[in-house]
Chains A and B, each alone.
Chain A
Amino acid sequence: METALFYILAALAVLSALLVVANPFSRNPVTSAMFLVLTMVSLTGLFVLLHAFFLAAVQILVYAGAVMVLFLFVIMLLDLKEEERRRVRWTGLAAGLISVGTILTIFVLRLGEFEAGASAAPTLEGQTPELGRLLFERYLLPLEIVGVLLLVAMVGVVLLSKKELK
């Protein structure tokens, strides 16, 4: 059951990620955004399979909720038509494919090395109280810094959205 769910969710995530990046049917940014939402949702499923229930909830709330709504808002605000087709720069495409292929090869080669070792049966459950305790004890300073970062981001966005950039 868990294995079947894993394969379904993983295939869904990778397929919809592919459709975000290179959709053969539509160049519309809204389509890409929708497939990105699908990727987020299937990643949430994978988080649940990994027993990270709190992070699954946060992923849905923050990514599928706030971030993607922001994306759609901006796409519709800018009123982008279909991305016009321009001449594909083959050098750029080749460079991209080569770098991606290299990175993927390195990943997979490294993964093959510890395939036997690190697969011990997991015992950790997604203990949300434990996570909260960790967050407010050992990681208190980073938490405060992240709070300040959010404030700075908010002030910056308000400043950037002013009509006159001075």
Chain B
Amino acid sequence: MTPALHHYLIVSALLFSLGLLGVVTRRSLLIIYMSLELMLNAANLALVAFSRFNNHLDGQVMVFFIITVAAAEVAVGLALIVAIFRRRQTTHVEDLATLKL
């Protein structure tokens, strides 16, 4: 029996949940950021699986755009983290509870 659509979707759901767990429970900005990447990748896997099993290439185009936007997002986010660290010497979210720099 070759793996069907729902096998891929279950893997995707598990990865997404793990990413969400990381975002909600971890306290380090960088780990939270990595968990966000994990969630994006889970969505990518679901889209590619749908694209394959529905005989439509549009899903793969969507994944292409998601990867591009994620790359831009990582660059800007990490620059923000570096700027915050320069100012406050911490990346622990509980030390960053105020809007004031």
- Seen from chain A, the residues whose Cβ lies within 8 Å of a Cβ on chain B are 2-3, 6-7, 10, 13-14, 17-18, 20-22, 29, 32-33, 36, 39-40, 43, 46-47, 49-52, 54-55, 58-59, 62-63, 66-67, 70-71, 74-75, 77-78, 80, 83-84, 86, 92-93, 95-97, 99-100, 103-104, 107-108, 111, 114-115, 118-120, 122-124, 126-127, 130-131, 134-135, 139, 142, 146, 149-150, 152-154, 156-157, 160-161, 165
Q: How far is the CB of B57 from chain A (nearest CB, A)?
A: 5
Query: With an 8 A cutoff between CB atoms, is B74 at the interface?
Result: yes
Q: How far is the CA of A165 from the CA of B82 in the complex (A)?
A: 12
| Residue B96 interfacial (CB < 8 Å) | no
Q: Is chain B's interface secondary structure helix, strand, loop, or mixed overall? A: helix
B-side interface residues, number (CB < 8 Å): 71
Per the bound structure, the CA–CA distance linking A97 and B67 in Å amounts to 28
Closest chain-A Cβ to B18's Cβ sits at a distance in Å of 5
B-to-A contact residues, CB < 8 Å: 1-11, 13-22, 24-28, 30-31, 33-35, 37-38, 41, 44-45, 48-49, 51-58, 60-61, 63-65, 67-76, 78-83, 85, 91-92, 94
How many A-B pairs with Cβ below 8 Å? 228
Q: Are A17 and B60 CB-contacts (below 8 A) given A3-B1, A150-B72?
A: no
Q: Across the interface, name the chain B residue whose C-beta is closest to A124.
A: B55
CB-based closest 6 A-B pairs: A96-B24, A21-B22, A153-B72, A119-B4, A107-B13, A160-B79
Q: Tell me the minimal C-beta distance from A108 to chain B in angstroms.
A: 7
From DSSP, what is the main secondary structure of chain A's interface residues? helix
Taking A21-B18, A157-B76, A160-B79 as given, write out 7 further A-B residue pairs in contact, using a Cβ cutoff of 8 Å, ordered by the A residue number: A3-B3, A80-B30, A103-B17, A115-B4, A134-B58, A153-B72, A161-B83
Closest A residue to B2 by CB, please name it: A2
- A156: contacting residue among B13, B28, B55, B76, CB under 8 A: B76
Name the residue on A nearest B74 (C-beta). A67
User: A21-B22, A153-B76 given as contacts; is B71 within 8 A of A62 (CB)?
Assistant: yes
Identify the interface centre among A21, A80, A139: most chain B CB within 10 Å of its CB.
A21
> In the bound complex, do residue B91 and residue A78 qualify as a contact, i.e. CB atoms below 8 Å apart?
yes
**Is there an interface contact between A100 and B24, defined as CB atoms closer than 8 Å?**
yes
CA A165 – CA B87 in complex, angstroms? 10
For residue A75, which residues in chain B have a CB less than 8 angstroms away from its CB? 30
Can you list 23 A-B contacts with CB-CB less than 8 angstroms, sorted by A residue number?
A6-B3, A10-B7, A14-B15, A17-B18, A20-B22, A21-B26, A43-B44, A50-B52, A63-B70, A67-B37, A78-B30, A78-B82, A80-B91, A83-B31, A96-B24, A103-B17, A104-B14, A107-B17, A111-B6, A124-B57, A135-B61, A139-B61, A157-B79
